[in-house]
Amino acid sequence: MRVAVFGTKSYDRQSFEAANARFGHALTFLEPRLDADTAPLAHGFPAVCVFVNDLLDAAVLEALRAGGTRVVALRCAGFNNVDLAAADRLGIAVVRVPAYSPHAVAEFAIGLMLALDRRIHRAWARTRENNFALDGLVGRNLHGRTVGVVGTGRIGAIVARALRLGFGCEVLAFDPFPDEALAADGIRYVDRAALLDAVEIVTLHCPLTPQTRRFIDAEAIARARPGLMLVNTSRGALIDTAAVIEGLKSRKLGGVALDVYEQEESLFFEDLSNEIVQDDVLQRLLTFPNVLVTGHQAFLTSEALAAIAETTLASLADAEAGRPLAHRLAPPRAG
Ligand code: NAI
C-alpha cells in the first residue's frame, strides 16, 4: 500500500523500514506534521500514518478524503487528536497501536519520579561543572510513601505494581473500572477526592477525555497534601498548567515531572535551541528547580518502536487486503 508517513523522525524511519521488509508497503517519509496546510502532501495516498501531535480534525480529514485517503494509521495509542465522528462520516478507517510497550512508559514514569525526588537531574548538571556539593539535593525514600495512580490500565497497572511490590509504597488508585487483580496485590482503589487528600505523589495514566481534562486543577492542588509531587506521562491537558505554576510558586506542590504538555504540538519533537520560544508558560515551568520536563519521550525505546512499526504496517496490510481491522477505532457513540 502507498503510505504517506507524516512527522517522520530518523528513529521512525529506521523502525518502519526494518519492519517493512516483511510487508513491502511503499512508504513515503515526510517531515512535516499533518495539519490543514500539509494535508495536500497526502494527495493520492490511500493511507497516511501519523503520530500524537498531527492534527486530524474534520477539515484535515475532509482534505485527506478528497485526496483519496481511506485509512489513517496512528503510530501511537492515544487518539484525542482525531475527530473520529468525522472520519466515520467520511468513510476513513482509523487504526491505532493500542499497546506497544506499556513497560516503556511505566518505567519512564518511575524514572521521572526517582529523578525528581532524588534531584538526579540537578546532580547531573552540577557534576558536569565539577560542583560536587550536596546542598539542596536532599530527597526522600520512595519506600513507605503513599502514591496515587490515576488510571490503572496497561501502563498504570505496571506502575502501581512496581511501586507496591517493588518499592514498598502504599498505593492508592483511581479508575472507574477497578482491576481486581491489582486490588489483590494490595493496591487500594479510592475515589478522586480520597486519593488527592492522601497521596504524597500522584502519577497520571488515564486517557485524555472530557472527564479527565484538568484532572489536576486549582481545586485539586488546594486539597492536596503540602509538597505533593506530580508526574504526568499521559497527556498535557490532564493538568491545568497555570494552576500547577501557582502551586509551585506557593510551594504547595513539591515537585512536578512532565513528559507531556498541553501546548506541546508546536514545540516537542523539534530542536528549538536556537529559537526564541514564545510559550511563556513552558518557559516559566522550566525555571523551577523542582520541575523536570522531557519532550514526550516516555514511549521511546527500541522495543516500543519495533512493536509500533510492526502493528501499524500489519494493520495497513489488512486494510489493503480488505481484512477486518483489529485495531480500528470505533466512532464515538451519539448522545
Ligand atoms: P489503557 O486504556 O490501557 O488504560 C487507561 C485507563 O484509564 C483505563 O483503565 C481506564 O479505565 C482509565 N480511565 C478512563 N477514564 C478515567 C477517569 N476518568 N479517571 C481515571 N481513570 C480513567 O491506556 P494505557 O495504554 O495504559 O495508556 C494510558 C495513557 O498513557 C494513554 O491514554 C496516553 O494518553 C498515554 N501514553 C503516553 C505515552 C508517552 O510517550 N508519554 C505513550 C503511550 C501512552
Q: Does residue 327 have an active-site annotation?
A: no
Ligand 1 site, residue 235, Cβ cutoff 6 A: yes
User: Catalytic one among 75, 264, 310, 327?
Assistant: 264
Q: Ligand 1 centre from 299 Cα, in Å?
A: 13
Task: Quote the ligand 1 centre to 296 CA distance (angstroms).
Answer: 15
| Protein residue with its CA nearest to atom 36 in ligand 1 | 234
Helix (H) or strand (E) holding 126: helix 120-127
**What are residue 193's phi and psi, to 5 degrees?**
-65, -45
CA of 201 from ligand 1 middle (Å) equals 18
**155 Cα: distance to centroid of ligand 1 (angstroms):** 7
Q: Is the CB of 182 under 6 A from ligand 1?
A: no
Question: In whole angstroms, what is the distance from residue 273 CA to residue 282 CA?
Answer: 14
Q: What is the mean pLDDT of the chain?
A: 96
Pocket lining: 210 vs ligand 1, CB cutoff 6 Å: no
Q: Phi, psi at residue 306, to the nearest 5°?
A: -65, -40
Predicted local confidence at residue 279, as pLDDT:
96
**pLDDT, position 53:** 87
CB contact set of 87 (below 8 Å; sequence gap of 6+): 56, 61, 72, 93, 94, 331
Burial of 335 (0-12, 13-18, 19+ CB in 10 A): exposed
In which residue ranges of the chain is pLDDT below 50? none
Annotated catalytic residue: which of 121, 296, 310, 327? 296
Q: Given 3-state DSSP classes, what are the helix, strand and coil percentages for the chain, each rounded to the nearest 5?
A: 40, 15, 45
Count the Cβ atoms, other than its own, within 10 Å of residue 236. 19
Query: In what order do the strands lie in the sheet containing 2-5?
Result: 26-29, 2-5, 47-50, 71-74, 93-95
Which amino acid is it at 8? T
- Residue 100 in contact with residue 310, Cβ under 8 Å? no
What is the C-alpha separation between 249 and 246, in angstroms, rounded? 5
pLDDT at position 333 is 78
Residue 235 near residue 263 (C-beta atoms within 8 A): no
Q: Which atom of ligand 1 is nearest to the CA of 102?
A: 25
Nearest to 163 by CA among 147, 175, 151: 147
Note the pLDDT of residue 334.
64
Answer whether 264 contacts ligand 1 (Cβ < 6 A). no
Catalytic residue among 235, 262, 310, 327: 235
β-pairing, 170-174 with 71-74? unpaired
What spacing in Å lies between the alpha carbon of 238 and ligand 1's midpoint? Answer: 11
CB of 51 closer than 6 angstroms to any ligand 1 atom: no
> According to the model, what pLDDT value does residue 171 have?
98
The per-residue DSSP string of 22-84 comes to: TT--EEEE--SPPSTTTGGGGTT-SEEEE-TT--B-HHHHHHHHHTT--EEEESSS--TTB-H
The crossing angle, in degrees rounded to 10, of helices 302-321 and 10-20 is: 50
